Amino acid sequence: MKATQQLKEEHSAVLLMLQVLEKLVDRLIEGDRSSAEDLPAIIDFLKGFVDRCHHGKEEEWLFPALEAAGIPRQNGPIGVMLQEHEAGRSLIQDMVETLDVLEAGESQVALKEAAHNYIQLLRTHITKENEVLFKMADIKLTAAQQDELYENFERLELERMGAGQHEEYHKLLHQLMEKYGLNG
């Protein structure tokens, strides 16, 4: 498998979790407060699978390889992707902060806003990567470079998450998809 293909497959999993989050927020707004119990697990997925692992692969390995291949960081697509990763981190933090508010039985408006902003940001970010950046990568990188990236991705995943954690996150995703009536 190409390194870019591995990232695209991770994008598919991320998009499914965004659908779960969207559905959960809808249920909360409709008055089903019990849905809030799944938020910590979803936030853990967004921090662990999406940010630490997936964005880690992009920031530490893919983007530097693309820069070395002549794609500029400043005023170019890589700079934009990095800014969007940062914006995502800060929206995850906003969601974490609204959890305490929810527990106190207060308004769900702040959570709804942070979650919707995060979902929208990540969806457009993933489209840009799949449709623009990864296409550029597939043109610029040789097969040997893709292989090397793939190996580095695998190592990063093992170091950041530990053996078996990737599968645990997929298990969580599928459990939640079933619970929220989504068919992947």
Residues that bind Fe ion (CB under 5 A): 58, 81, 129
Our CB check for Fe ion shows the closer of 38 and 129 to be 129
Our CB check for Fe ion shows the closer of 93 and 175 to be 93
Our CB check for Fe ion shows the closer of 25 and 88 to be 88
Shortest distance, CB of residue 99 to Fe ion, whole angstroms? 25
Our CB check for Fe ion shows the closer of 4 and 108 to be 4
Shortest distance, CB of residue 11 to Fe ion, whole angstroms? 6
Our CB check for Fe ion shows the closer of 112 and 166 to be 166
Shortest distance, CB of residue 131 to Fe ion, whole angstroms? 12
Other residues' Cβ atoms within 10 Å of the Cβ of residue 160:
15
Shortest distance, CB of residue 57 to Fe ion, whole angstroms? 8
Shortest distance, CB of residue 55 to Fe ion, whole angstroms? 6
- Give me the helix-helix angle, 3-29 and 109-128, nearest 10°: 160
